[in-house]
């Protein structure tokens, strides 16, 4: 409902506005006279702001009804006659009148704010007393006070890795890059995919103190579906994050915490809430999320545009981790890499395996190198010449049997620095010696 205020002065009435035509558009301005655009001096600052709100509503009402497609907006009773009068103005003159309304509104606001009590502006320096410097729970992967996303395809090991991260916070076990964790903290685990049984069994097998993993719950039922876009669910998470000793929040998963469509930009509301919660508590939030299905034009690496849903999901995350299995010959070794970091240089990737006893960290696997024709030719030459010099004609014959052309063999010869010598009108190839 629109707030009303007794504003001084009067505006043009319906009879005046109905004059219409070009003469009206060029000689009249709908907002109230300029001499009445300043609140009376006896008003308090609060009353002056109320007066300003009423005056702005007066002008917005007129501007909205001059614009197409804005039917149905609520108007104050005192503006209804004005609105009806504006509607009779010929359409060809409305744009001119609208511009005058906008200009008058800007001038009116300048007059009002100029007369309000002066106060120093807020500057960036004020944040020095509010926000700490950027700090890391795990440098340069997990910044305190920010949202970090962990993304990957279904079954890629996201939840298992998240639990291993929790173990480093709770027990001081190593991080994936094999540096030591801090230990001694609590972790809030917001389970939204009804995987409580898996979580409990893994924590038991991996020797993680279960009393250090805090489960937000609506009421007393720990198995209740947790939704962070409800007042009850959000309150449950906030309450636990503010407990002493909480060092990390893990949300598994982001999709399960949100009932709406992740393809719509309104999911930014939930991400914004998580970002503000992290900032105000200085506790990092690690959100587990999924990738969309790989398209025909996608390469083998995980990139930001493969994160499922609206682009708003990755906008507020300052770090984004991705897990994948780049080498299908060793599918049990999973790669952890960063695909976004706004706060530090990107670190080297890590590797890990999931076992019955827990997560074991290893060197990062890489994509298998695709062998080119020249690579094959180089391998063949090294194998043939390892036993000593060989006639070029015989090498070409071996190459033909391996579907390698003479030109490909010659390029490989040059790359390897192979020596060619002519004896008795025949060319011999040999591997270079130390002297050569």
Do 136-362 and 373-430 fold alike per CATH?
no
The CATH code belonging to domain 373-430 is 1.10.10.10
Q: Is the pTM of this model over 0.95?
A: no
Q: What confidence score (pLDDT) does residue 157 get?
A: 96
Mean pLDDT of the chain: 80
Topology given in CATH for the domain delimited by 136-362 = Rossmann fold (3.40.50)
Q: What confidence score (pLDDT) does residue 113 get?
A: 66
Which of the pair, 186 or 111, is modelled with greater confidence? 186
pLDDT in tens, 52-80: 555 555 555 544 444 444 444 444 444 45
pLDDT at residue 429 tops 90: yes
Helix H, strand E, coil C: the string for the chain is CCCCCCCCCCCCCHHHHCCCHHHHHHHCCCCCCHHHCCCCCCCCHHHHHHHHHHHHHHHHHHHHHHCCCCCCCCCCHHHHHHHHHHHCCCHHHHHHHHHHHHHHHHHHHHHHHHHCCCCCCCCHHHHHHCCCCCCEEECCCEECCCEEEEEECCCCCHHHHHHHHHHHHHHCCCCCCCCCCCCCCEEEEEECCCCHHHHHHHHHHCCCCHHHEECCCCCCCCCCCCCCCCHHHHHHHHHHHCCCCEEEEEEECCHHHCCCCCCCHHHHHHHHHHHHHHHHHCCCEEEEEEECCCCCCCCCCCCHHHECCCCHHHHCEEEEEEEECCCCCCCCCEEEEEEEECCCCCCCCEEEEEECCEEEEECCCCCCCCCCHHHHHHHHHHHHHCCCCEEHHHHHHHHHHCCCCHHHHHHHHHHHCCEEEEECCEEEEECCCCCC
Confidence of residue 293 (pLDDT cuts 50, 70, 90): confident
Instruction: Provide the residue ranges of all domains of the chain, joining segments of one domain with +.
Output: 14-115, 136-362, 373-430
Q: What confidence score (pLDDT) does residue 108 get?
A: 61
């Amino acid at each position: 409902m629109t707030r009303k205020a007794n504003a001084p002065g009067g505006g043009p009435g319906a009879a005046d506005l109905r004059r219409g035509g070009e003469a009206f558009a060029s000689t009249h301005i709908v907002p109230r006279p300029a001499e009445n655009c300043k609140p009376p001096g006896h008003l308090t600052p609060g009353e002056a702001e109320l007066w300003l709100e009423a005056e702005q509503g007066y002008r917005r009402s007129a501007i909205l009804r001059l614009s197409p497609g804005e039917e149905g907006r609520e108007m104050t009773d005192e503006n209804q006659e004005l609105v009806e009068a504006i509607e009779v103005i010929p359409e060809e003159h409305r744009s001119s009148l609208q511009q005058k309304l906008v200009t008058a509104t800007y001038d009116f606001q300048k007059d009002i704010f100029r007369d309000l009590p002066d106060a120093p502006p807020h500057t960036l320096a004020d944040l020095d007393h509010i926000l700490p410097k950027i700090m890391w729970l795990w440098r340069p992967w997990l910044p305190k006070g920010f949202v970090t996303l962990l993304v990957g395809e279904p079954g890629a090991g996201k939840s298992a890795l998240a639990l291993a991260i929790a173990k480093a916070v709770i027990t001081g076990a190593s991080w994936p890059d094999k540096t030591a964790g801090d230990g001694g903290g609590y972790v809030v685990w917001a389970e939204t995919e009804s995987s409580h049984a898996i979580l409990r069994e893994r924590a038991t097998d991996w020797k993680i103190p279960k009393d250090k993993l805090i489960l937000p719950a609506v009421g007393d039922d720990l198995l209740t579906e947790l939704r962070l876009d409800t007042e009850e669910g959000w309150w449950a998470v906030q309450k636990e994050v503010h407990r002493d000793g909480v060092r990390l929040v893990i949300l598994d998963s982001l999709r399960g915490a949100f009932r709406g469509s992740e393809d719509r930009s309104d999911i930014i509301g939930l991400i914004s809430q998580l970002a503000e919660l992290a900032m105000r508590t200085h506790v990092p939030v690690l959100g587990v999320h999924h990738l969309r299905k790989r398209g025909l034009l996608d390469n083998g690496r995980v990139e930001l545009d493969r994160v499922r849903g609206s682009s708003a999901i990755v906008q507020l995350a300052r770090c984004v981790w991705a897990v994948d299995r780049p080498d299908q010959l060793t599918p049990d070794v999973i790669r952890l890499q960063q695909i976004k970091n706004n706060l530090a240089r990107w670190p080297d990737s890590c590797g890990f395996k999931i076992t019955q006893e827990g997560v074991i960290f290893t060197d990062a696997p890489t994509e298998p190198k695709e062998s080119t024709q020249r690579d094959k030719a180089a391998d063949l030459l090294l194998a043939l010449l390892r036993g000593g010099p060989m006639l070029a004609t015989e090498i070409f014959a071996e190459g033909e049997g391996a579907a390698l052309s003479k030109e490909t063999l010659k390029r490989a010869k040059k790359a390897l620095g192979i020596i060619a010598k002519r004896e008795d009108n025949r060319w011999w190839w040999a591997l270079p010696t130390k002297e050569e």
